[in-house]
Amino acid sequence: MAVPLLDLAAHHRPLHKELVAAIEQVVQSQAFILGPDVGTLEERIASYCGTGAAIGVSSGTDALLIALMALNIGPGDEVITSPYSFFATAGAVARVGAKPVFVDIDPRSYNIDPGRVEQAVTSRTKALIPVHLYGQCADMDPLMDIATRRGLAVIEDAAQAIGSEYRDGRRAGSLGTVGCFSFFPSKNLGALGDAGMVTTNDPQLAERLRILRVHGSQPKYYHKIIGGNFRLDSIQAAVLNVKLKHLDGWTRRRQDNAQRYETLFQQSDLVKKGHVRLPEAVYRASGHRHYHIYNQFVLRAGERDRLIVHLKGKSIGAEIYYPVPFHLQECFQYLGYKAGDFPESERAASETIAIPIYPELTQLQQQEVVNAICDFYKDRDRGI
Q: Which residue ranges make up the site for ligand PLP (CB under 6 A)?
A: 59-61, 85-86, 88-89, 131, 157, 159-160, 182, 184, 194, 196
Sign of CA dihedral 166, 196, 5, 352: negative
Q: Within 10 A of 137 (CB to CB), how many other CB atoms are there?
A: 29
Q: Give backbone dihedrals phi and psi of 352, rounded to 5 degrees, phi first.
A: -95, 155
Query: At closest approach, how far in Å is the CB of 190 from ligand PLP?
Result: 9
Q: Which alpha helices (H) appear in 174-293, and where do they start and end?
A: 203-213, 234-244, 247-268
Specify the 3-state DSSP secondary structure of 72.
coil
Q: Which residues make beta-bridge pairs with 79?
A: 100, 127
Q: How far, rounded to the nearest angstrom, does the alpha carbon of residue 217 sit from its chain's CA centroid?
A: 30
Q: Which residue number, 64 or 264, has a Cβ lying nearer to ligand PLP?
A: 64
Query: At closest approach, how far in Å is the CB of 196 from ligand PLP?
Result: 5
DSSP string, 299-322: EEETTHHHHHHHHHHTTB--B-S-
Distance CA 281, CA 240 (A): 28
Give the list of residues 6+ apart from residue 193 with CB closer than 8 angstroms, or none. 185, 233, 236
Q: Which residue number, 89 or 251, has a Cβ lying nearer to ligand PLP?
A: 89
Distance CA 303, CA 311 (A): 12
Query: At closest approach, how far in Å is the CB of 160 from ligand PLP?
Result: 5
Q: Which residue number, 68 or 373, has a Cβ lying nearer to ligand PLP?
A: 68
Q: Which residue number, 85 or 200, has a Cβ lying nearer to ligand PLP?
A: 85
Q: Which residue number, 132 or 310, has a Cβ lying nearer to ligand PLP?
A: 132
Q: Which residue number, 65 or 372, has a Cβ lying nearer to ligand PLP?
A: 65
Exposed/middle/buried for residue 302 (C-beta within 10 Å: 0-12, 13-18, 19+) = middle
Query: At closest approach, how far in Å is the CB of 328 from ligand PLP?
Result: 18
Query: At closest approach, how far in Å is the CB of 322 from ligand PLP?
Result: 9
Query: At closest approach, how far in Å is the CB of 184 from ligand PLP?
Result: 4
Query: At closest approach, how far in Å is the CB of 204 from ligand PLP?
Result: 25
Q: Within 10 A of 10 (CB to CB), how many other CB atoms are there?
A: 14
Q: Which residue number, 91 or 366, has a Cβ lying nearer to ligand PLP?
A: 91
DSSP string, 84-142: SS-THHHHHHHHTTPEEEE-PBPTTTSSB-GGGTGGG--TTEEEEE-B-GGG----HHH
Distance CA 298, CA 41 (A): 30
Q: Give backbone dihedrals phi and psi of 131, rounded to 5 degrees, phi first.
A: -105, 130
Query: At closest approach, how far in Å is the CB of 274 from ligand PLP?
Result: 29
Q: Are strands 276-277 and 196-200 parallel, antiparallel or unpaired?
A: unpaired
Query: At closest approach, how far in Å is the CB of 112 from ligand PLP?
Result: 12
Q: Which residue number, 187 or 300, has a Cβ lying nearer to ligand PLP?
A: 187
Q: How far, rounded to the nearest angstrom, does the alpha carbon of residue 16 sit from its chain's CA centroid?
A: 26
Q: Which residue number, 185 or 302, has a Cβ lying nearer to ligand PLP?
A: 185
